[in-house]
Amino acid sequence: NAGVTQTPKFRILKIGQSMTLQCTQDMNHNYMYWYRQDPGMGLKLIYYSVGAGITDKGEVPNGYNVSRSTTEDFPLRLELAAPSQTSVYFCASLGSSYNSPLHFGNGTRLTVT
Amino acid sequence: AQSVTQPDIHITVSEGASLELRCNYSYGATPYLFWYVQSPGQGLQLLLKYFSGDTLVQGIKGFEAEFKRSQSSFNLRKPSVHWSDAAEYFCAVGGRAGGSYIPTFGRGTSLIVHP
């Protein structure tokens, strides 16, 4: 059981470049989330999805976009990378009930220079 | 809006000593509360959770937490810390926001264990 899989693990981007962070889960979870983690700041919610075709903004959505064409996949798109987007990005999914824990991927460490 | 406060950025303890990590939350109804642990280079792993019933909950690796509604707290404890417990610990509250379920995390507490 793979759980939540994120790719790539590491990436270095130049300012202005674009990229897509991939996230796939094989647990048939409806809820999926993208968080960014910065030192001393905890996890900030970027976007989330309650099911295929439905997405919504979280606390820090500027500079990012998402799509949810299938239940399994929830990619995060950076269109014009900026140094402020240097961070560790985590994708997570939620089981069938609200008292279930989040299932996390291992993260993508992104550096923008 | 819901929020989580972890007042301690770093905690240093000696191996074998007891541990308490503090967590205070803000939420209008009965919250779902969680503690997660993050080892370096890894995602977050669930330690324990509370959503109803007994206010003292047991988790993995010998951790426990107590929900105190009057203090809006959910502190994590361990009676004897092991060197392998050194990690980042996150408290989280789950609640409804605009009809959707949104987990909110504290900023984390880094645990350093001295031999």
pLDDT tens-digit readout, B51-73: 888 899 999 999 999 999 999 99
Alpha carbons within 13 A on the beta-carbon side of B2: 25
Partner residue opposite B100 with nearest CB, options A41, A43, A48: A48
Band (pLDDT 50/70/90 cuts) for residue A98 is confident
- What are the residue boundaries of the structural domains of chain A, listed by start? 4-105
Q: Report the chain A residue with the minimal C-alpha distance to residue B98.
A: A56
Q: Using CA atoms, how far apart are residues B61 and A69, in angstroms rounded to an integer?
A: 38
Considering only CA atoms, give the Rg of chain B: 14
Q: Using CA atoms, how far apart are residues B46 and A26, in angstroms rounded to an integer?
A: 19
What CATH number is given to the structural domain containing B40? 2.60.40.10
Q: What is the CATH number of domain A4-105?
A: 2.60.40.10
Q: In terms of residue numbers, what domain contains B57?
A: 3-114
pLDDT tens-digit readout, B7-50: 999 999 999 999 999 999 998 777 899 999 999 888 899 999 99
Tell me the residues of chain A between 31 and 90 that have a Cβ less than 8 Å away from chain B.
Answer: 31, 33, 35, 40-43, 45, 48, 50, 56, 58, 90
Query: Would you call B41 an interface residue with chain A, using a CB distance cutoff of 8 Å?
Result: yes
Q: How many domains does the structure of chain B reveal?
A: 1
DSSP letter at A60 equals -
Provide DSSP, A62-84: TTEEE--SSSSB--EEESS--GG
